[in-house]
Amino acid sequence: MKVGFYQFRPFFGKPEQNCKKILSALKDVEADLIVLPELALSGYYFKDKTESLKYAEDLENSTIIDSIISFAEYKNMHIVLGFAEKQGEQCFNSSALIGPNGIEHVYRKVHLFNEEKFCFDPGNKPFVVNDINGVKIGMMICFDWVFPEVTRILALQGAQIICQPSNLVLTFCQQTMLARCIENKVFAITANRYGVDKRPQGSLKFTGKSQIVAPGGKLLHRAVSQRDALFVTEIDPDDANNKMITQHNDILADRRPEFYTLLNNK
């Protein structure tokens, strides 16, 4: 299976322009699955929810999302796209799994980062795993990395590849995802943006360094920090099926949930 990411610098508030940039970058790409950054169409640093809604896509009525679906169909490719999702007066920081037959799943970011709390509604759907041509895909978004429960719950549902659209401003995630891939023995594709969103309320700089990590924590590739980066590599998703970390330790079967009950109540 050929998987990859496209790291770029979205222009704030220019969804059409950002969509054009994405489709032109992916025009000649041969891949089964490409992961794009978080909020790849709108840019990141909204000042409030009125502004995030203004640049959000309504899945029932979005020519931009429709053009990405047509592209996925034409390329016979799956795309994981981070975008601002409008549903009535609600706005979610979402990630769509788009395939040749349309949208297969939308994940809404559960753990909102910092001022995102003023711009988005928290995700309201469970973590699930989707099957694409026999491969199990799980989605999380950026700051979800701080919560090891997310990767674990996806791994427990059989996820082989974790797709993580990101707009990282802290510097810890890329290293932490190595640990997530050791403790869950999954692949992880982190597609981050770079550049700066300079807004009246301040500036945010994003860290780039998108990466693909293999089960066991092997870094297959990490992009540079502040440049466009399109990367595709061949992986065998079944490498994520072996959960043995020693001859006598299965990282999922050896769990002792009876000792973790506090996690459900705190």
Run of H or E residues at 16: helix 15-26
Q: Among residues 5, 83, 120, 143, which is the contact residue for ligand ACM, using CB under 6 A?
A: 143
Q: Looking at 25-33, 163-171, 213-221, 244-252, which segment touches ligand ACM (CB under 6 A)?
A: 163-171
DSSP symbols for 87-155: ETTEEEEEEEEEETTEEEEEEE-SS--GGGGGT-PPP-S---EEEETTEEEEE--GGGGG-HHHHHHHH
CA atoms within 13 A on the CB side of 30: 2
Find all residues with CB under 8 Å of 235, minimum gap 6, and list them: 1, 2, 3, 161, 187, 212, 214, 220
Find all residues with CB under 8 Å of 232, minimum gap 6, and list them: 2, 3, 4, 29, 30, 31, 34
Report if residue 79 touches ligand ACM, rule: CB under 6 A. Answer: no
Q: Could you confirm whether 38 is annotated as catalytic?
A: yes
Contact by Cβ (8 Å): 256, 249 = no
Question: What's the CA gap between 184 and 203, in Å, rounded?
Answer: 35
Q: Could you confirm whether 109 is annotated as catalytic?
A: yes
Return the number of the residue (169 or 186) whose C-beta is nearest ligand ACM.
Answer: 169
Report if residue 174 touches ligand ACM, rule: CB under 6 A. Answer: no
* Cβ at position 167, least distance to ligand ACM in Å: 4
Residue 216 tokens, joined: 């066991």
* Cβ at position 211, least distance to ligand ACM in Å: 16
Q: Looking at 28-36, 161-169, 195-203, 237-245, which segment touches ligand ACM (CB under 6 A)?
A: 161-169
Nearest to 159 by CA among 234, 97, 233: 97
Using DSSP's 3-state secondary structure scheme, residue 56 falls into coil
Report if residue 151 touches ligand ACM, rule: CB under 6 A. Answer: no
Of the residues 21, 75, 109, 136, only one is catalytic, namely 109
Of the residues 19, 119, 142, 181, only one is catalytic, namely 142
Run of H or E residues at 177: helix 173-184
Report if residue 36 touches ligand ACM, rule: CB under 6 A. Answer: no
Q: Among residues 142, 153, 162, 177, which is the contact residue for ligand ACM, using CB under 6 A?
A: 142
Return the number of the residue (6 or 143) whose C-beta is nearest ligand ACM.
Answer: 143
Report if residue 194 touches ligand ACM, rule: CB under 6 A. Answer: no
Report if residue 119 touches ligand ACM, rule: CB under 6 A. Answer: no
Question: What's the CA gap between 30 and 182, in Å, rounded?
Answer: 29
Report if residue 113 touches ligand ACM, rule: CB under 6 A. Answer: yes
Q: Among residues 38, 51, 57, 121, which is the contact residue for ligand ACM, using CB under 6 A?
A: 38
* Cβ at position 253, least distance to ligand ACM in Å: 32
Contact residues toward ligand ACM (CB under 6 A) are 38, 113, 142-143, 167-169
Residues marked as catalytic = 38, 109, 142
